[in-house]
Amino acid sequence: MLTQRIHEWPTRYSSNIPTTATLISIVLAYLFLSTSFVKAEWYLKEEHNVFSGETKQTATTKNNLEQTLTIYKNQATNEIWINFALPESATDYINPKYPPAIKIDDQQWIKPIFEWYPKWFNLLLQSPERLKSKNLLELILKGHDITIKYHSATGEDLESSFSLKNSADLIRVTIGK
């Protein structure tokens, strides 16, 4: 009887065990759904430099692709920057030949001044000397979503979106407004 049950198990109970194809379908559906939506969690981060005594505040968020968007003020120049960073696990890099662009809600794409590094770049939002318009910063403070367009080193045009929900107060604290 024990021998009979052991031989019955693969056929009798196998309909309850998910197949590899089913598991792959579940994982792909999860990945598709999780990358289609944008996280809305912003947090304030403070870094204290022991040597200079300066404290730097940043307003930061991540999207579902683990890409990071940080807004900060350079205290020495009074410039306000956005930093966009790929996750450390990313295998691709950002292509510096094509300037990144930024779009708030349904506005047109804007190509601000930028500083490039292989896995991240800074976009200049406001500067006393280099930019005359405060419009981009005001759009961010009033906006709902921000989208960053960039080119990968493999030649792909990529866009990353972040929610601006509940960010305005943190950004104002960060930039001192």
DSSP 19: P
Q: Is 2 helix (H, G, I), strand (E, B) or coil?
A: helix
Asked if the model's pLDDT at residue 47 lies above 60, the reply is: yes
Overall pTM > 0.75: no
| Residue scoring higher pLDDT (63 or 12) | 63
Q: Average pLDDT, whole number, for the chain?
A: 80
Give the Cβ contact number of residue 66 at 10 Å.
13
Asked if the model's pLDDT at residue 155 lies above 80, the reply is: yes
Q: pLDDT of 61-74, one tens digit each?
A: 999 999 999 999 98
Most confident region among 31-35, 47-51, 146-150 by mean pLDDT: 146-150
Give the model's pLDDT for residue 147.
96
Asked if the model's pLDDT at residue 126 lies above 90, the reply is: no
Tokens describing residue 64:
């579902």
Give the model's pLDDT for residue 94.
93
The superfamily in CATH containing domain 38-175 is Invasion associated locus B (IalB) protein (2.60.40.1880)
Residue type, 19: T
Measured CA to CA, the distance from residue 53 to residue 174 in angstroms comes to 17
Average pLDDT over residues 48-62: 87
Give the model's pLDDT for residue 104.
95
| Residue scoring higher pLDDT (8 or 106) | 106
| Residue scoring higher pLDDT (17 or 47) | 47
Measured CA to CA, the distance from residue 105 to residue 143 in angstroms comes to 6
Q: Angle, to 10 degrees, between the axis of helix 168-175 and the axis of helix 135-142?
A: 140
- Residue 153 near residue 92, CB atoms below 8 Å: yes
Between CA 108 and CA 116, with CA 112 as vertex, the angle to 5 degrees is 130
Q: pLDDT of 25-38, one tens digit each?
A: 544 444 443 333 44
Measured CA to CA, the distance from residue 146 to residue 61 in angstroms comes to 11
Distance separating the N- and C-terminal Cα atoms of the chain:
80
Q: pLDDT of 90-122, one tens digit each?
A: 888 999 899 999 999 999 999 988 998 889 999
Q: Where are the domains of the chain?
A: 2-35, 38-175
